Amino acid sequence: MSRSARALALAALGLVAACRRGEPGDVLLPGGLHGAILRPALPKPDFRLVDESGRPFDFRRATDGYLTFLYFGYTHCADVCPVQMANLAGALHQLPPASVQRMKVVFVTTDPARDSAARLRQWLGFFDPGFIGLTGTPAALRSAQLASGLPPAEREDVPGGGYGVGHAAQVLVFTPDDSERAQYPFGIRQEDWAHDLPRLLTLGSGR
């Protein structure tokens, strides 16, 4: 299945949410893991953005050999984004430090107008100081989402002023062999992550 077709299929399953009105779901698929397992696995996308220090960040190269979690969201999100990050961080903090050192969590903003580098660093620090925040031009961010097989985020005006951002709500998981093997929709709990993280570390590590 192509990335574009898979994106449409995942959207149909309800894995795309607007943060300002997102509601938890319970989308758990069989296979030993609590996330949606991708068969066949997909290659890791190749895109370049900028990290919170203003340095170029080559996603594919910088995460090579790591169990990598990729999420597109924004810091002014009222529910979906902080819940996803908090649950993942809570499960990571239960692991031995040696296991955590083999993982990277990458958060890509879908709201570059408000998510400055300082804002990204402060917000991600609430969950884990090791989380990596990326930004870029609107065109670069759109390209990164498309390269990841996700529908591009869209601004959604709120009555009375202000706006939210509708974006894909799942965490993409890439194993150390640079393959996307699972996705975790909004509604995945911290205990689900805690169950799956040690198992994910064993996938794709025999290169």
Report in angstroms the alpha-carbon separations of 45 from 49, 112, 182. Answer: 12, 20, 14
Q: Which superfamily, per CATH, for 3-201? A: Glutaredoxin (3.40.30.10)
Show the CA angle centred on residue 191, arms to residues 99 and 83, nearest 5°. Answer: 95
Longest dimension (CA), the chain: 54
For the chain, the structural domain boundaries read: 3-201
* pLDDT for the residue 86: 96
Report the SS3 class of residue 107: strand
DSSP states of 135-204: E--HHHHHHHHHHTT-PPPEEEE-TTS-EEEEEE-PEEEEETTTEEEEEE-TT--HHHHHHHHHHHHTTT
DSSP states of 87-101: HHHHHHTTS-HHHHT
Contact predicate 120/113, CB 8 Å = no
What is the rounded (10 degree) CA torsion for 166, 167, 170, 174? Answer: -170
DSSP states of 24-64: ------SSSSSSEEEEEEEEPP--EEEETTS-EEEHHHHTT
Per-residue pLDDT of the chain (207 residues; tens, 9 = 90+): 344 444 434 443 334 333 322 333 333 344 578 888 888 899 999 999 999 999 999 999 999 999 999 999 999 998 999 999 999 999 999 999 999 999 999 999 999 999 999 999 999 999 999 999 999 999 999 999 999 999 999 999 888 888 999 999 999 999 999 999 999 998 899 999 999 999 898 876 544
**Nearest residue to 38 (alpha-carbon basis) of 178, 192, 183:** 183
**Nearest residue to 16 (alpha-carbon basis) of 191, 149, 190:** 149
* pLDDT for the residue 47: 97
* pLDDT for the residue 207: 41
Q: Considering the entire predicted model, what is its pTM? A: 0.84
